[in-house]
Every structure is written in C-alpha cells, then in structure tokens.
Amino acid sequence: MTTGSKTISGRVRIFLDMIKFQHTIFALPFAYVGAFLAAKGVPPIGTCVWILLAMAGARTVAMAVNRIVDREYDAENPRTMDRPLVTGAIMEPDAWIMVTMAALVYFIACYNLTTLAFRLSPLILAILVFYSYTKRFTFLCHLFLGLGIGITPTAGWIAVSNSIGITPLLLSLGVMFWIAGFDILYACQDVEFDADRGLHSIPVKLGVKRAFVVSGAFHVIAFGAFMAAGITAGLNWIYYLGMVAVFVLLCLQRMVITPSDLSRMNLAFFRMNAAISIILLVSTSFSIFMAR
C-alpha cells in the first residue's frame, strides 16, 4: 500500500472514530424491524439498501454536529479530551464537509424510498441535530436523544409502507425510553463536570442514585412498549422469547454498573445494548417468517 493510500485510510478511520460509526448497530436493527413488519417479510433489496444509507447518513450528521457543538466542553472533560476535533486530528471545516455530504446521502436515500419518508426527512434530521443543544437548557435531554433514535422503527415502517401505524409507534416508544434510560446512566459519568459547567441532566438534577431509579422506570416503560408492539403486530412466541432475553440483559446492566461503580460502563453500553437491538431484530424476523 502506498503512503498516500495509508494516509487516506487513516483519515477515514479518524472520521469514523469521531462519529463512533460502529455504534450505528444500536439503531439500524430497529429500522429494519419496522421495515420487516411493514413488509410482513423482507422488503426488496433496493429498499433495504436505501434504508441503510438513510440511517448511516442521518446518524453521521447527528454525531458530527454533536462533536462540533460540544467541542469546547469535550476539550475540558478528561473523559472526552482525546476526541479528534479536540486534538486537531480533524479540523472543524472538514467536519462540516462530512455533515454536508452525509446530509446529501440521507436526503437522496429518503427520496428513493417513499413520498412520506422524503417529506418527513427534514423534520427527522432537525430532531437529531436539535438533541445536541438540549443539555444546555433541560434535564430532559435524555428523552430528546431517545426520541432521535426512537424514530427509527417508524422510519423503517414508513420507508416500506408510506404510512404510519400503531405497531411502529409502540416500537418507537420502546426504543425512546430504552435509549433515554441508558443515557441517564451514561451521564452519571459526567455529573460533576456537567454541574460545574451549568449543563443539565437527570443525574445533575436528582443525583446519581435517584437517576438510577428514573432510568429503571424508563426501562420498565420500554419493555412494556415492546410487549405491546408484539401484541398489536400479532407476533408469535419467538418474539416473546426474545423479550425474555431483552429483560435479562436489562437486568444484567443493573448488575454490571451501579451508582457506586461505573467502571464497566462501556461493557454495558456497547455489548449489551448491541445485543438487545440484534435480539429484537432476530426475534421479530423469525416470528414473521414462521407465521407465513
């Protein structure tokens, strides 16, 4: 490989690291859950590809904007001061170019899905971008993050059916409170820093121990919404078997991290949350296919 090729690949890796591209796995399965339910099976391959591109584009915009607007805070926080925009590995103009290109991919993908998907695309992107500013004025910022990611099942449904139904809305509600519940736990790592800088979160507002209680309540709501979605969709026992696995993982998260020990946050955040999203996709898919 030439030096130029190494430089390009290195730059790509830095950009992907900046937006934590690997974390797309949390949201992407939910988009396909909505799409599979709407299609009552696997949608056309072209639709699946456009959904993938729309999800990747939207998430890249959201994460890149978040890194840009939070750069000053990230530079002061020991946990985040090694991020590429802080260290200078990526310059702000380059980050904005990434935002522009990702937004273009997103809108093109939505245009190639359904009319409703394209019409709603600016609103959805606005919600994703707006989250980055919410912790400056409300402790409910976690719910805005949950909303941004929670849109995905309904978006996947719209991408196939060009309509909105109760099942994807219930799934979106579940994802919203699942993500918000875990984001509360994640924010416990920065409670002192956020309080000192005047940033808002439930841990800052209520304290870490009470934040864990609120997080638990959110996850109960999420689990109830997932169960209700299975009922409205007429899914069979395979889906509910997946729900049992999801329940176990939600409980295990409470054992891995506690108010007095947040050291294994990354294990709970990446591995367990990724497992939950994949389990929901697999159990939904098999339930659909077994019923055909």
Residue 16 lies in a domain: no
Residue 9 lies in a domain: no
Categorize the per-residue pLDDT at 14 as very low, low, confident or very high, splitting at 50, 70 and 90.
low
pLDDT of residue 242: 97
Cβ atoms 183, 166 nearer than 8 A: no
Overall domain count for the chain: 1
Residue 120 lies in a domain: yes
Please determine, for residue 153, whether its predicted confidence score (pLDDT) is greater than 70: yes
pLDDT of residue 27: 80
Residue 96 lies in a domain: yes
CA dist 140 and 134 (Å) reads 8
Q: Average pLDDT, stretch 230-247?
A: 96
The HSE-up count of residue 121 (CA atoms within 13 Å, CB side) is 26
In the chain, count H helices and then E strands.
Answer: 15, 0
Q: Average pLDDT, stretch 150-175?
A: 97
pLDDT of residue 127: 95
Tell me which of 169-173, 215-219, 253-257 is least confident.
Answer: 253-257
Residue 95 lies in a domain: yes
Percent of the chain with pLDDT over 70: 90
Based on C-alpha coordinates, what's the Rg of the chain?
A: 19
Categorize the per-residue pLDDT at 1 as very low, low, confident or very high, splitting at 50, 70 and 90.
very low
Q: Average pLDDT, stretch 225-235?
A: 97
pLDDT in tens, 85-129: 888 888 889 889 989 999 999 999 999 999 999 999 999 999 999
CA dist 150 and 267 (Å) reads 22
Please determine, for residue 207, whether its predicted confidence score (pLDDT) is greater than 70: yes
Mean pLDDT rounded to a whole number for the chain: 90
Residue 56 lies in a domain: yes
Q: What are phi and psi of 291, to 5 degrees?
A: -85, -10
Residue 4 lies in a domain: no
Cβ atoms 102, 61 nearer than 8 A: yes
Categorize the per-residue pLDDT at 8 as very low, low, confident or very high, splitting at 50, 70 and 90.
low
Q: What is the span of the domain harbouring residue 251?
A: 22-291
CATH number for position 264: 1.10.357.140
CA dist 122 and 120 (Å) reads 6
Tell me which of 22-26, 147-151, 195-199, 214-218 is least confident.
Answer: 22-26
Which 8-state DSSP code applies to residue 200? -
CA dist 204 and 283 (Å) reads 37
Residue 13 lies in a domain: no
